[in-house]
Amino acid sequence: MSNIKLFILSLFLSVLAASSLVDASDKIVTDQLARSNQASDQKITYRFETPEQKAVRLAEEHIARNGYTKAEADRENLSFETVEFSGNVDEMLELRHDTLNPGAYGVVFGRSDSKKGWTIVFEYSDRIKAERAKESNDSSNKTLTGRAVTMNKDFKDLRVEHKAFILDNVDKVLD
């Protein structure tokens, strides 16, 4: 056989083998996802997400895991704020429970300390909004606030900031 024919045959076999590997790996991943989904009620993490989507997903998981939503907190993996106003974990979780809506409100591209990273903002829950409306005597102060989860550019060091975040200051409001 000529060198050209051998080259074409080799190229054809390489493409065929690569195609089979891709199909096989997709099947393996699909089978693993199916098995893991049957074994647990955890969310399936999609293989393709933008950095913004990843930051939002991680922040939403963070506030749920740490007891800020109506979901039960994961007591084995709690994160503590830089300022806590409780004497023990039970009291801390009681203070946190149902204070934030589970879905992110908006995104700030960067962190409050001017470092690269993400700030994902959450609105206060309806319960907190109602409590604040009862307590507020000043009807002229209509600034809407929430709380923010910050993380570095590598999606690490997630932290719920202890200060309120003005919702009008987000770079992007999410749907």
Mean pLDDT score, 153-158: 96
In terms of domains, do 68 and 37 share one?
A: no
pLDDT in tens, 12-21: 555 545 444 4
In terms of domains, do 40 and 56 share one?
A: no
Domain count, the chain: 2
Confidence at 82, pLDDT banded by 50, 70, 90: confident
In terms of domains, do 16 and 59 share one?
A: no
pLDDT number for residue 17: 52
In terms of domains, do 107 and 82 share one?
A: yes
In terms of domains, do 40 and 6 share one?
A: yes
Q: Quick one: which of 151, 148, 45 has its CA closest to 105?
A: 148
Q: Quick one: which of 68, 152, 75, 132 has its CA closest to 103?
A: 68
Lowest mean pLDDT among 9-23, 95-109, 158-172: 9-23
Task: State which residues form the domain around 3.
Answer: 1-44
Tell me which amino acid residue 20 is.
S
pLDDT in tens, 113-144: 778 999 999 999 999 998 888 887 655 556 79
Confidence at 23, pLDDT banded by 50, 70, 90: very low
In terms of domains, do 12 and 81 share one?
A: no
In terms of domains, do 67 and 6 share one?
A: no
Q: How many whole angstroms separate alpha carbon 18 and alpha carbon 27?
A: 14
pLDDT in tens, 25-75: 344 444 444 444 444 455 555 579 999 999 999 999 999 999 999 999 999
Confidence at 11, pLDDT banded by 50, 70, 90: low
pLDDT number for residue 90: 92
| Beta-sheet pairing, 117-123 with 106-109 | antiparallel
Q: Quick one: which of 68, 73, 81, 50 has its CA closest to 174?
A: 50
- Asked whether the predicted pLDDT for residue 83 surpasses 80, the reply is no
pLDDT number for residue 111: 85
